[in-house]
Amino acid sequence: SQTIHQWPATLVQPVGSPLSLECTVEGTSNPNLYWYRQAAGRGLQLLFYSVGIGQISSEVPQNLSASRPQDRQFILSSKKLLLSDSGFYLCAWSASYGRASYEQYFGPGTRLTVT
């Protein structure tokens, strides 16, 4: 069966510090991968998605970036965090074809607090 991992689970970082969040998927190959953010009291917002290694699409301009160095690894980064980057970051995957591609499966999330 497929499993999605995210780490760390929680993170407290000062303003201006760098960020690296990692997401890995097991049990599937060539998945579509997604990064979402949920700010306090707000809905989920799609940040990035990827259909393959090195292929990243950005949905919202910001000081965050994403990379996909391996098929089942998705990384969210920032060079300098802002207070507004605080939130709940969720990684998700979906199959790249077939009926299973209709569903997205979410990881446990990383709660980031920028101080």
Partner 1 sequence: DAKTTQPPSMDCAEGRAANLPCNHSTISGNEYVYWYRQIHSQGPQYIIHGLKNNETNEMASLIITEDRKSSTLILPHATLRDTAVYYCIVRRIAGGGADGLTFGKGTHLIIQP
Distant-in-sequence, close-in-space partners of 48: CB < 8 Å, separation ≥ 6 = 34, 35, 56, 57, 58, 59, 64, 66, 76
Residue with Cβ nearer partner 1 (70 or 101): 101
- The reply on whether position 36 binds partner 1 by CB under 8 A is yes
DSSP structure class, residue 106: E
Residue with Cβ nearer partner 1 (44 or 67): 44
- The reply on whether position 39 binds partner 1 by CB under 8 A is no
Three-state DSSP string of 49-91:
EEEECCEEEECCCCCEEEEEEECCEEEEEECCCCHHHCEEEEE
Contact characters 53-92, partner 1, x per CB under 8 A: ------x----------------------------x-x-x
Interface contacts to partner 1, rule CB under 8 A: 32, 34, 36, 43-46, 49, 51, 59, 88, 90, 92, 94-98, 101-109, 111
